[in-house]
Amino acid sequence: MDRALVDLVRRFNRTVTQRVGALDDSYLARDRPLAQSRLLWEIGPGGAEVAALRTRLDLDAGYLSRLLRTLEGAGLVVVGPGESDGRVRTARLTEAGRAEWELLDGRSDDLAWAVLAPLTDGQRTRLTTAMAEVEHLLMASLVAIGPGHPGEPQARACLRAYARELAARFDSGFDPAGSGVDDHELVPPAGLFLVATLATEAVGCGAVRLPPGEPAEIKRLWVSASVRGLGVGRRLLNELERHAAAAGARSVRLDTNRSLTEAIRLYRSSGYREIPPYNSNPYAHHWFAKSLD
């Protein structure tokens, strides 16, 4: 652990929480703390499903329930069954809640301008550019990667999205049944399947096969468009390589389609070199390999 980096992050966190008023019991001069105001704002004029709020804000179910009860008690929110599905709990703003939402929205604009107003034009540009970069990197740090079974719901969601994208991008379409890989080849000890998640939403996947006496093989590497540019694909690839090396593989290889230009750039920048075809995958135009020694 780099102590200087840790201290810098902690100092940054303290500065931000103080500057935006996160420590105040009356956030934005209202009679409620930040957590309640943020939840009210997220519910918004259109309402929101409780499950979606929990995912979006990454809140414990019990804590979210207590926040909602507090807002209900204040006459700002009502929680009940959804209009199209009575099994889905939905939070909606009351008339008083909508008025409070509009007030919070306006005061949030005022707070943002209070941060910018004392600065010169050049300083504002520097600050907002830095903020965009910090947001980008914080999003990247929120993505978690862990092993899963390709038959589990999150994994299946990734694989369906993967197949839809390939079908749209490949000149000849894509049939996952023709990929020549079965689920049992992607679970230990035969292989490994990884799922990347952001606030419980599956946003990426990747797998490695470990055939005895042969190089390891990367398969089904996919990242959702919502998190592209955050380095998730590279993290997945690195983790799969690390697992293959730990399992004793001395090299790893993969194939890819010519239309997947982003993937080709990733492989080349990660040290893969192009090799002659090693399989008869009908969707492949390029074959790559990398030494793990």
Each residue of 79-88: pLDDT tens digit?
998 776 667 8
Secondary structure of residue 275 in the 3-state scheme: coil
**Over the chain, what is the mean pLDDT?**
92
Compute CA distances 283 → 167, 180, 204, 220, 255, whole Å: 11, 11, 21, 13, 9
Pairing of strands 48-49, 201-209: unpaired
Lowest mean pLDDT among 118-122, 148-152, 157-161, 176-180: 176-180
The CA distance from 225 to 187, in Å, is 26
Helices 261-269 and 232-246 pack at an angle, to 10 degrees, of: 50
Q: Tell me the three state secondary structure of residue 242.
A: helix
Residue 195 CA to residue 65 CA, distance in Å, equals 29
89 vs 67: CA distance, rounded Å? 15
Query: d(Cα 102, Cα 93) in Å, to the nearest integer?
Result: 11
Q: Per residue in 187-241, pLDDT tens?
A: 999 999 999 999 888 999 999 999 999 999 999 999 999 999 999 999 999 999 9
Q: Identify the pLDDT of residue 26.
A: 80
Sequence-separated (6 or more) residues with CB below 8 Å from residue 279: 180, 255, 287
